[in-house]
């Protein structure tokens, strides 16, 4: 796969990031080296190798779910930068 300037600009747009031309060139080179490395991994002969589900044989030890006290809505709103007394106000991110 070939990484080009258009692909980097598209990725920047989708991720809502802004880069200078110099940064875009550096990203293009970094992405190309990452993709080359992943393609090189595809050349490795893995016949007879069983796929792993987990990297270790350890089993998760989960704690019991214990109901504990929590803070009230009013206490939660005290530290919020913007509220309408019931909900947190956040900047709009989806345009219609």
Which residue is listed with tokens 């219609």? 96
As for how many domains the chain has, the answer is: 1
In a domain, 61, yes or no: no
In a domain, 86, yes or no: no
**DSSP reduced 3-state for 12:** helix
Nearest residue to 28 (alpha-carbon basis) of 44, 15, 9: 9
**What's the pLDDT tens digit per position in 63-80?**
888 888 888 888 888 889
**DSSP reduced 3-state for 6:** helix
Residue 83 phi, psi (nearest 5): -140, 170
The model carries a pTM of 0.49
In a domain, 53, yes or no: no
In a domain, 9, yes or no: yes
**What's the pLDDT tens digit per position in 35-61?**
999 999 889 898 898 888 878 888 888
Domain span at residue 27 reads: 5-41
In a domain, 51, yes or no: no
C-alpha to C-alpha distances, 45 to 17, 41, 48, 55, 69, nearest whole angstrom: 38, 9, 9, 20, 55
């Amino acid at each position: 796969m070939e990484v080009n300037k258009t692909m980097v600009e598209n990725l920047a747009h989708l991720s809502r990031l802004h880069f200078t031309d110099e940064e875009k060139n550096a990203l293009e080179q970094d992405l190309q080296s990452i993709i080359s490395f992943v393609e090189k991994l595809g050349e490795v002969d893995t016949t007879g190798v069983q796929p792993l589900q987990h990297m270790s044989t350890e089993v998760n030890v989960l704690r019991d779910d214990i109901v504990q006290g929590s803070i009230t809505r009013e206490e939660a709103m005290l530290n919020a930068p913007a509220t309408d007394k019931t909900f947190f106000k956040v900047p709009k991110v989806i345009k219609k």
